[in-house]
Amino acid sequence: MDDKLKEFLKNLPKIDEILILLEKDGVSGEFPRNVVVGTSRSLVGEMRDAIVASKGKTPRLLSTQKAAEEVKKRLLKLREFSLKKVVNATGIILHTNLGRAPLSERAIERIVAVSRGYSNLEFNLEKGKRGIRYDHVRKILCSISGAEDAVIVNNNAAAVLLVLNTLSKEKEAIVSRGELIEIGGEFRIPEVMEKSGAILREVGTTNRTHLSDYENAIDTTTGLILKVHTSNFRTVGFTEEIGLSELVKIGNKKGIPVVNDLGSGCFVALEKYGFEPEPTVQEALATGVDVVTFSGDKLLGGPQAGIILGRKKALEAIEKNPLNRALRIDKLTLAALEATVQEYLNIDGAINNIRSLRALTEQQGDVKKRAEKLLSLVEKIAPEGFSFNLKEGMSLAGGGSLPTQEIPTVLLAVNSERISSGRLEKKLRLLEVPIISRIYEDEILFDLRTIDEDEFGLIEAGLKSLSEDI
Ligand SMILES: *Cc1c(COP(=O)(O)O)cnc(C)c1O
């Protein structure tokens, strides 16, 4: 180690001296001693790493005083919430990074009501003995979808894992090459299959898979046929895909269960609202398929969950699988899911009360009215040098749902003479209630399709605080 490096390391602030300053300040009394010491140690550790990495060039070092201030900042930050509300101005309705579906009012009320005290989560009130958590949603899910039985787990990835593990462990799961997809966040169908213990048997090619490909693959080692809804991309051109009902026919003939991972399962036929037809959960089940799985927080518009519907025989085995104990849904989610599914007893009500469905189906004219209202509000409080105007554009469903289908929308374009759009985007993102926007052609855009009127106040307050800041 050269002398300069040694010299720098010798001059690092001493933990004890930082602690004395923090004590004088009074802040160390507000936190457990190990937290104060640990935070100081990690700051000094970072500085040591920076010195070593600087390889003798002058590193940026903090004085003991500045180091104590930094530790104090970090300590106070521990009390702030990290997970918080943001305004989604991106126009991506089911934005996986922004928490996918916002919950309906009723779903939120149910979470509060059920979690504040005790609940009958696993207690059968009529019989006065142990009950089953899935029973709270089993009946309603079955009556809406036409399924014989239902099991709910943590998310759809867990649902696929559990179904494959139950029905195809150490057996072949036949799946078309065109459906071996990756879903954001590193969920790859082949990898989940491997973890489940199922043996992947790929058939067909990327763009074309024939009925005979499936038939020829079936033998004594077959556990199931899996059909994955390629919900986040489309193959176009010279393609062939075998429909679910044909697979069910083969499955029935050979006595092999057929499973459909629907991804973004929806109870509402969205073609009424101008979308290309997507199979609904009811349609998938009507083919006689043994098992359907889908997410709770994609098009359904509820909490994160994996919903497994289908035939009693398969579902009973799935429910009894010990792996289910590790993947089961918790009471808060169950409370929100029950309320969400109840909305579908009245489709118009569901479209109205479930924000993601409302955003998907709202007429552009109504989005425009909201945009005009926001425009007049922000013009009144506009920081100096800012200008606003409305534009037409396109929103996306997101969450791997309805790919390639753009939804006409209205955008509020924000321009500033005083700050670049890149810096403005960051400042908006770091507001007390962050506004997540997009930049297009060097302009900040707020997509009104994903902004509710009750969030206008937050945008006003955010822009106001910016004007003090730039
Ligand atoms: C989204 C998706 C999943 C994963 O669902 P999560 O609820 O995010 O775990 C699995 N399969 C398909 C086809 C999907 O679209």
3-state secondary structure of 413: strand
User: CA-based angle 75:80:86, to the nearest 5?
Assistant: 145
pLDDT digits (tens, 9 = 90+) for 429-465: 999 999 999 999 999 999 999 999 999 999 999 999 9
For residue 260 and ligand 1, the question of a CB distance below 6 A is answered with no
- The residues, ordered by sequence, that sit 6+ positions from 169 with a Cβ below 8 Å of its Cβ are 196, 197, 198, 223
Tell me: pLDDT of 231 over 90: no
Tell me: pLDDT of 186 over 80: no
**Mean local confidence (pLDDT), 374-395:** 94
CA of 328 to the centre of ligand 1 (A): 16
Kindly give the number of the ligand 1 atom that is closest to the alpha carbon of 306. Answer: 7
The DSSP output letter for 453 is G
- Residue 391: enclosing H or E segment and its boundaries? strand 386-398
At the topology level of CATH, where does 104-353 sit? Answer: Aspartate Aminotransferase; domain 2 (3.40.640)
Tell me: pLDDT of 418 over 80: yes
User: CA-based angle 99:409:400, to the nearest 5?
Assistant: 40
Q: Position 282: which residue type?
A: Q
How is 269-310 classified by DSSP, letter by letter? -GGGGTPPP---HHHHHHTT-SEEEEESSSTT-SSS-EEEEE
Tell me: pLDDT of 56 over 80: no
First vs last Cα of the chain: how many Å apart?
Answer: 45
Q: What is the pLDDT of residue 48?
A: 93
Instruction: Report the C-alpha gap between 253 and 68 in whole angstroms.
Output: 74
Kindly give the number of the ligand 1 atom that is closest to the alpha carbon of 228. Answer: 13
Equal fold, 87-94+359-469 vs 104-353: no
Instruction: Report the C-alpha gap between 287 and 272 in whole angstroms.
Output: 22
Q: What is the pLDDT of residue 58?
A: 78
Nearest CA, atom 11, ligand 1: 263
Q: What is the pLDDT of residue 232?
A: 61
Q: What is the pLDDT of residue 188?
A: 84
**Mean local confidence (pLDDT), 13-38:** 97
pTM: 0.93
Tell me: pLDDT of 237 over 80: no
- Note the helical H segments in 294-403: 312-320, 323-327, 331-343, 347-353, 355-361, 364-381
For residue 183 and ligand 1, the question of a CB distance below 6 A is answered with yes
> In terms of pLDDT, which residue wins out, 11 or 147?
147
pLDDT category, 234, cuts 50, 70, 90? low
pLDDT digits (tens, 9 = 90+) for 129-167: 999 999 999 999 999 999 999 999 999 999 999 999 999
Assigned token pair, 443 = 């302009």
CA of 263 to the centre of ligand 1 (A): 5
Nearest CA, atom 14, ligand 1: 263
**Mean local confidence (pLDDT), 300-320:** 98
Per DSSP, what are the bridge partners of residue 330? Answer: none
Instruction: Report the C-alpha gap between 106 and 159 in whole angstroms.
Output: 25
Instruction: Report the C-alpha gap between 364 and 375 in whole angstroms.
Output: 16
Nearest CA, atom 5, ligand 1: 156
Average pLDDT, the chain: 93
Tell me: pLDDT of 43 over 90: yes
Q: What is the pLDDT of residue 236?
A: 67
3-state secondary structure of 389: strand
**Mean local confidence (pLDDT), 209-226:** 94
Q: What is the pLDDT of residue 121?
A: 98
For residue 156 and ligand 1, the question of a CB distance below 6 A is answered with yes
- Residue 41: enclosing H or E segment and its boundaries? helix 33-54
3-state secondary structure of 432: coil
Q: What is the pLDDT of residue 183?
A: 72
> In terms of pLDDT, which residue wins out, 22 or 385?
22
CA of 287 to the centre of ligand 1 (A): 21
Assigned token pair, 336 = 């929100």
* Strand 182-183 with 258-263, pairing: unpaired
For residue 400 and ligand 1, the question of a CB distance below 6 A is answered with yes
CA of 264 to the centre of ligand 1 (A): 7
Tell me: pLDDT of 218 over 80: yes
pLDDT category, 127, cuts 50, 70, 90? very high
CATH match for 87-94+359-469 among 3.30.450.20, 3.30.70.260, 2.40.50.100, 3.90.1150.180? 3.90.1150.180
User: Which of 261, 293, 327, 401 to mutate to test ligand 1, by most ligand atoms within 8 A of the CB atom?
Assistant: 261
Q: What is the pLDDT of residue 184?
A: 66
**Mean local confidence (pLDDT), 338-360:** 97
Tell me: pLDDT of 391 over 70: yes
Q: What is the pLDDT of residue 49?
A: 93
Q: What is the pLDDT of residue 376?
A: 97
CA of 46 to the centre of ligand 1 (A): 38
Q: What is the pLDDT of residue 468?
A: 78
How many whole angstroms from its chain centre is CA 85? 14
**Residues 103, 304 contacting (CB under 8 angstroms):** no
Q: What is the pLDDT of residue 233?
A: 61
CA of 153 to the centre of ligand 1 (A): 13
Nearest to 263 by CA among 360, 397, 355: 397
For residue 154 and ligand 1, the question of a CB distance below 6 A is answered with no
Nearest CA, atom 3, ligand 1: 263
Based on the number of CB atoms within 10 Å of its own CB, is 78 exposed (0-12), middle (13-18) or buried (19 or more)?
Answer: exposed
Q: What is the pLDDT of residue 411?
A: 98
Domain boundaries of the chain, sorted by first residue: 3-77, 87-94+359-469, 104-353
Radius of gyration from C-alpha coordinates of the chain: 27
CA of 404 to the centre of ligand 1 (A): 18
Q: What is the pLDDT of residue 89?
A: 98
**Mean local confidence (pLDDT), 397-418:** 88
Q: What is the pLDDT of residue 336?
A: 98
User: CA-based angle 189:192:195, to the nearest 5?
Assistant: 150
User: Which of 179, 231, 232, 402 to mutate to test ligand 1, by most ligand atoms within 8 A of the CB atom?
Assistant: 231
Q: What percent of the chain has pLDDT over 90?
A: 80
pLDDT category, 400, cuts 50, 70, 90? confident
pLDDT digits (tens, 9 = 90+) for 272-287: 998 988 889 999 999 9
Q: CA dihedral in degrees (332, 337, 339, 341; nearest 10)?
A: -170
